Structure 1
Amino acid sequence: MITLDDIIGKSEHSSPLSRLTSVPVFWVVLAAVAACVALTLLTDTFATQRNIFNVLRNFTFVAIIAIGMTVVIASGGIDLSVGSTVVLSAMVLSVLMSGGWGFAVAATVALIAALAVGAFNGILIAYAGMPPFVVTLGTLAGARSLAMVLSDNKMIWEFGPDHDLLLWIGGGSTLGLPHPTYVLVALAIMTALILKWSRWGQYVYAIGSNEQAATLNGIAVKRQKVTIYMFSALTAGMTGILMTGWLGSVTTNLGQAMELTVIAAAVIGGANLAGGEGTALGAVVGALLIEVIRNSLILLGISTFWQGMFIGTFIIVAVAFDRFRNSRI
């Protein structure tokens, strides 16, 4: 009889050191630390309070969505619609608040809209058997189109009676840390605990490792997949709300092409595109490393046109390293 531990491939026979070095995120953390040390030595501006604050704020938005994306990838799927879900959530929030609704109610409706996108993706993928790439590519276009319809493709920068509250939540700081970073920390801890200790989390890895075996073990795979895509959409919806408060305005270009950066963060952080692997910590560290790279290019005076090349190279190297590591197991 195949057990759940057999499906997700747990091993208790290796030493603590070998287990640590075999985890992809270990090397990503080392790379991020090395990059920060190098930039501190090479520039006079990287380690300044202002620049560190900007790095924290900028990587937070990617990291929040990367946590949701990591869960999807660990289950063997992919979600290309997160950038469009960001703008849909932001537009629902903005339209309602500009119409006089309070922040709490508007934010709740915005998150419900995001969850609806995730549920739509999950139902088509799980119950209709459609490929995740095709479904989420369709909702990538569809969700952004809905955002355009809601706003009449116009910028919104007035948010009604709770305008200042929204800007404080998304753009303010406490104890020197941006408020969205506190949301990221709470989400990362919660997700890590859920993936480690809950049945839902273990089922994510089980489905990604061997979906057929997971089904034979009595896991409700279809229902689980729907909740996985809803979780991914929820993280995108939260980011849309926070980004609106940070920017102080919303256009239909918000979140455009964000999917690529988010997937890159998840993969660099150790998520296996074949499924079965990925952690919340890895998603956060992957997003941080991407932002450090982007920030370093700016500080070193390198053209921003090279950002895609560096990030793309890191993705290829991360996947190649993962394949090499798996081939030796």
Structure 2
Amino acid sequence: MAETFVDGRAGIDVGLVRGLVADQFPQWADLPVTPVEVDGWDNRTYRLGDRMTVRLPTAEGYVAAVDKESAWIPRLAPHLPVRVPPILGRGRPGRGYPYPWSVRGWLPGVTAGRAGLADLAGFAVELAGFLRALWSCDASGGPAAGEHSWWRGCSPAHYDDEARRCLAAVRGEFDTVRATAVWEAALAAEFKGDPVWFHGDIAPGNLLVADGRLTAVIDFGTSGVGDPACDLVIAWTVFDGESRRAFVDAVAQDDGMWARARGWALWKAMLVLEGAPAEVTAADCRRVIDAVLRDPAW
């Protein structure tokens, strides 16, 4: 039955989650299990009662995050200005589901992408504060960037072949001379600082908001210790104009960091555009690429 899960989400449903909880956490067996309204791709998440969630990796490549988050989120949490997911239990494979999984505390709020933020510049400053706090956490013994983080925190050079292929694919649609210059500047801006904690997926779906304020950051599955430039991609995916300037000023990083961040943003947008499953996704990717190429630094 393990083969059911090789391609990801098939076979993960309310019945499976209810059974796993009953088998391994009988104290919570009577609590209702319901899918969350907005789910991710790397993991499936279900509400467990009113105060907990169950989170299950959808494929082998996401399994390393279970133990990583269980070990490190509790150590990072006291040093961060907003809440992060409380880890309440680690589940074992069972009932045909082949991976470890976790039980976490529920964090209230809505994702930033659905919040309709009135003060985007203020939100940008709050997010910058979170990032600076995360980057300042003690990185001793933390997991060095690599396969477990999908190479976030490493040099963008890891994706050079892929980026070159994408640059060829968008020729005629964008200024690929300019785009190539952005990418090559990212490669040239070698990270020479001390490795620090990074989140690796600072995106609207991982930022929780209440009353217009950043209240929590979730999904540390791609986190690790290395170059935090990947955490700045949101400067082009979400922020623009005044809010981008506020973010740049508040996060206070050097030109090399921003050069690598532009490279990360360009690579990811081109990659997703290449296989965009829906027109709205393609439009978002084009918007990000255009924003990177119009950046005043270039």
When the two structures are superposed, what TM-score results if normalisation uses the length of structure 1? Answer: 0.23
Greater strand share, 1 or 2? Answer: 2
Q: Which has the higher contact order (CA 8 A, sep 6+)?
A: 1
Greater helix share, 1 or 2? Answer: 1
